[in-house]
Amino acid sequence: MILHIIQAEVCGPHSLEVTFNNGTHKRVNLVPLLDGPVFAPLHDPAYFARVVVDPVLGTVVWPNEADLAPEAIHNLPTD
């Protein structure tokens, strides 16, 4: 099964409550993944809160087109 995110809700300055298509539901802090210039705007909690789930790709994405692979998020420890 290819892992997809089906729902994501902001629950902290850099944390999401995420539900995956395999039934896993977890709260994760994404700070460890926010490295590099494309992720710089996400360090602002107001910008981070603009996250949406791409219904086609099953990823979380922000207005600057920064996105994170579901597998990377799934592998983070629970917050």
Domains and CATH numbers, the chain: 5-74 (3.30.2020.10)
H-helix segments, the chain? 45-48, 70-74
Element holding 29 (H helix, E strand) = strand 25-29
* pLDDT value, residue 19: 98
* pLDDT value, residue 1: 84
Cβ neighbours of residue 4 closer than 8 Å, sequence gap 6 or more: 20, 21, 57, 58, 59, 70
What residue ranges of the chain have pLDDT lower than 70?
none
Token digits of residue 24: 């896993």
